[in-house]
């Protein structure tokens, strides 16, 4: 994986994290947190898809890796929801 693909992966993960944060109503989230949220969301989303036997939705091909765009957003929404629920208590 070259530098361009890594930068694209960071941008895509940041966008997925941003979309999830906006959907869940998170306020003033740092860009680094959004990128981490996008990556963690991709892992959680792929786990959810695999658990229920669902196909990849909107996969993006970055060199030799596939980034599941829709599952990353869905997983990020789950992670933001869990984080917000823990933070309120």
- The 10s digit of each residue's pLDDT in 29-70 is 788 888 888 888 888 888 998 899 998 888 888 777 777 888
Provide the pLDDT confidence category of residue 1 given band limits of 50, 70 and 90: low
What total of structural domains would you count in the chain?
1
State the pLDDT at residue 35: 86
pLDDT of residue 46: 86
Range of the domain at 12: 3-88
Give residue 52's pLDDT. 93
Backbone angles phi, psi at 55, to 5 degrees: -80, 165
C-alpha–C-alpha distance, residues 57 and 39, integer Å: 16
Beta pairing class for 59-62 and 65-68: antiparallel
* Residue 89 pLDDT: 64
């Amino acid at each position: 994986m070259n530098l361009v693909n890594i930068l694209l992966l960071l941008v895509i993960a940041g966008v997925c994290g941003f979309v999830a944060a906006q959907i869940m109503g998170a306020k003033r989230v740092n860009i680094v947190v959004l990128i981490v949220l996008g990556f963690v969301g991709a892992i959680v989303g792929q786990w959810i898809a695999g658990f229920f036997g669902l196909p990849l939705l909107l996969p993006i091909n970055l060199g030799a890796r596939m980034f599941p765009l829709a599952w990353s957003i869905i997983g990020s929404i789950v992670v933001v929801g869990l984080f917000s629920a823990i933070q309120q208590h």
